């Protein structure tokens, strides 16, 4: 990690009250992202990835609430921001791309008009100037005949092209940070791989920090410089992508790697991690993964800290694997 960090999340906690006690979806998360860096966040469905992204964008709706921690963005603590202050930075200095493009695209408005509006909402420029920037952005994300495509409606695009439009829109105002929440999950593998490559290049060229959220470690491995593994609302391991894939320290990371399709030998069944996520409103006192872990012992009844093993690696486990690595 360089000193050039744009986002620093410290001790973040996000809860949803229920009659059975609060669901703690994000449970003391620490994260840092530098300019031009791609951080992957991976974990099974329900581990708190989306809630973490929404929290960092100030998009948690009541009765849900960020109850602890700080979100330092460009040196300012966003948890103290008013809604008006959030609105001034959202879509401008930070943007979010969601899994379902229908949440960000208006089905009854032409693509060009939507993108021009997104630009003019934050910049005092003429419609013609905005149109020029929009056309450039469309070309950059690989949309052919952009002049024609400006006049199309969202349903006239393929799924992959729709997500390219959403990504182009997120990039329009040259944000410092983009949080992308499984935007390619519904797409086929080839289209997904092309988009991952293009987005990574665009962000690197522009110096935009990118947080890429996915349940699929294979996807995260294609795009991220570093990976944070999330389990039951907590980061259980983080490190440089290659190192993490080669020598995982947390048994949960090892389980995710073993269940990647590319790691299955021909004819062999995929090894999925047995069991399921614990209830977030009723977490075990100790390590939340212990009930599913082959390595678990009595020592796991106490919650381990996320311990740094080097400048770039940290793990939350009392008996990590590959310790000497
Ligand atoms: N608005 C909400 N109200 C109550 N619980 C929620 C809400 N949003 C998310 N959750 C809960 O928070 C947990 C984490 O969800 P989420 O962040 O969507 O997981 P992921 O994105 O990793 O699949 C889940 O148990 C989910 O049910
Ligand atoms: Mg999600």
pLDDT digits (tens, 9 = 90+) for 86-120: 999 998 999 999 887 777 889 999 999 999 999 99
Protein residues near ligand 2, an ion, with CB under 5 A: 49-50
Say how many Å lie between the CA of residue 53 and the centre of ligand 2: 9
Looking at all shown ligands, the one closest to residue 181's CA atom is: 2
How, if at all, do strands 76-77 and 65-73 pair?
antiparallel
Domains in the chain with CATH codes: 5-93+176-315 (3.40.50.300), 104-172 (no CATH)
User: From atom 8 of ligand 1, which residue's Cα is the shortest distance away?
Assistant: 51
User: From atom 11 of ligand 1, which residue's Cα is the shortest distance away?
Assistant: 25
Task: Output the ligand 1 site: residues, CB below 6 A.
Answer: 16, 23, 25, 43, 45-51, 64, 280
Residue among 97, 10, 104, 111 at smallest CA distance from 50: 97
End-to-end Cα, the chain, rounded Å:
19
Q: Point out the least confidently predicted range of 38-47, 261-270, 274-283, 291-300.
A: 261-270
Strand partners, 213: 41, 181
Q: How far apart are CA 179 and CA 177, in angstroms?
A: 7
Per this entry, what is the length of the chain?
325
Confidence of residue 260 (pLDDT cuts 50, 70, 90): confident
pTM score, whole prediction? 0.93
75: number of Cβ within 10 Å? 8
206: number of Cβ within 10 Å? 17
Residue in the block written with tokens 């997500």: 163
Residue whose CB lies within 8 A of the most ligand 1 atoms, among 46, 54, 59, for a mutation test: 46
Task: Tell me if 49 sits within 8 A of 213, measured CB to CB.
Answer: yes
% pLDDT > 70, the chain: 96
Q: DSSP assignment of 193-243, as one string?
A: HHHHHHHHHHHHHHT-EEEEEES-HHHHHHH-SEEEEEETTEEEEEEEHHH
């Amino acid at each position: 990690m360089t000193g050039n960090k744009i986002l620093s999340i410290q001790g973040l906690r996000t809860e949803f009250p229920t009659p059975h006690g609060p669901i703690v979806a994000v449970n003391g998360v620490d994260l840092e992202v530098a300019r031009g860096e791609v951080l992957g966040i991976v974990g099974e469905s329900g581990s708190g990835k989306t809630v973490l992204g929404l929290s960092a964008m100030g998009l948690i709706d009541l009765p849900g609430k960020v109850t602890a921690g700080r979100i330092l963005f460009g040196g300012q603590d966003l948890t103290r921001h008013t809604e008006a202050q959030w609105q001034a930075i959202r879509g401008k200095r930070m943007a979010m791309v969601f899994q379902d493009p229908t949440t960000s695209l208006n089905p009854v408005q032409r693509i060009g008009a939507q993108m021009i509006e997104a630009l003019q909402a934050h910049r005092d420029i003429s419609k013609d100037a905005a149109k020029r920037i929009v056309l450039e952005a469309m070309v950059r994300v690989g949309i052919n005949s952009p002049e024609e495509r400006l006049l199309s409606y969202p349903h006239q695009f393929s799924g992959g092209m729709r997500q390219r439009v959403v990504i182009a829109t997120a990039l329009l105002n040259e944000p410092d940070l983009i949080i992308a929440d499984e935007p390619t999950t519904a797409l086929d593998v080839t289209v997904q791989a092309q988009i991952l490559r293009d987005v990574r290049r665009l962000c690197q060229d522009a110096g935009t920090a990118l947080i890429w959220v996915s349940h699929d470690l294979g996807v995260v491995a294609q795009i991220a410089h570093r990976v944070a593994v999330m389990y039951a609302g907590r980061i259980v391991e983080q490190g440089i992508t290659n190192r993490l894939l080669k020598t995982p320290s947390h048994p949960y990371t090892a389980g995710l790697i073993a269940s990647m399709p590319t790691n299955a030998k021909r004819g062999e069944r995929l090894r999925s991690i047995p069991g399921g996520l614990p209830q977030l409103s009723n977490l075990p006192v100790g390590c939340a993964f212990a009930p599913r872990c082959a390595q678990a012992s009595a020592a796991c009844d106490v919650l381990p800290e996320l311990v740094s093993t080097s400048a770039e690696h940290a793990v939350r486990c009392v008996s990590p694997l590959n310790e000497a690595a």
